[in-house]
Amino acid sequence: MAASENDKQPDAVSSVMKVFGILQALGEERDHGITELAQRVMMSKSTVYRFLQTMKALGYVTQEGESEKYSLTLKLFELGAKALQNVDLIRSADVQMRELSRLTKETIHLGALEEDSIVYIHKIDSLYNLRMYSRIGRRNPLHTTAIGKVLLAWRDRAEVRDILKDVEFKRSTANTIVSSEALIEVLDQVKLQGFGEDNEEQEEGLRCIAVPVFDRFGVVIAGLSISFPTIRFSEEAKSDYVAMLHRAARTLSAEMGYHHYAF
């Protein structure tokens, strides 16, 4: 339930509690007027109105014409659906990632797009002592990572430019891509060959290969990767890793409802 106007929580915490109180009340019944809603959540009408206008501007609440009736939109459902999708994706990916780990003994990552970065949503550690440092929940740049490249390569180029517009192309190594146009040129090759590479672009001495995972609509929702130190690299190993990744991503994409994996 929402906090009352007289609670003694810090302002920011109190505001969050009020927002969720209003959302909960709107979720229990389809339509609410401001007066009824204010009584239900124990806030003043002016406070409720102010929060409703903000939630309306953000797309979480809709107002019926010029009336005082407010109801929830499907935006919260969309957020929940994305969370469920990630849960299903990680559960399915875990099986494929553990098999990749068994075959290669290298670090296996699953990463997703989060604003203008990638975020690791699952990981299997290397069985070797010499391994890369990473953790679930860690963010990394799009332009320096193999996963970042596959997350962008199948997107419309106008969308890619919009995603990259505020990115600071920091140079991590001598191989780092340092402009959006240079990155977009690489993305064309990534899409053509079906995999992306980090060739010591994020960290010297470390390479990574990644392939796309598609949802049922054919949208790339994640990148699946193998990371390994350059001392364990060979062209033969690279081609084997690409084939293994494609098999795993094809299976995973099919489990997500996509049956037209082209690689």
User: For position 163, what pLDDT does the model report?
Assistant: 92
Q: How far is CA 161 from CA 77, 172, 198, in A?
A: 28, 21, 20
Q: Return the domain boundaries, the chain.
A: 14-84, 87-256
Assess whether the region 14-84 and the region 87-256 belong to the same CATH fold. Answer: no
Domain 87-256, what architecture? 2-Layer Sandwich (3.30)
Between CA 32 and CA 69 the distance in angstroms is 5
Q: Number of helices and strands (H, E) in the chain?
A: 8, 8
Nearest Cα to 151, choosing from 254, 223, 227?
A: 223
User: For position 233, what pLDDT does the model report?
Assistant: 86
The fold for domain 14-84 equals Arc Repressor Mutant, subunit A (1.10.10)
User: For position 1, what pLDDT does the model report?
Assistant: 42
User: For position 134, what pLDDT does the model report?
Assistant: 61
10-residue mean pLDDT series, the chain (263 residues):
48 80 79 81 87 87 77 77 66 94 94 90 82 70 94 95 89 90 93 95 93 93 94 88 96 91 91
Residues 6+ apart with CB under 8 A from 215: 85, 221, 253, 256, 257, 258
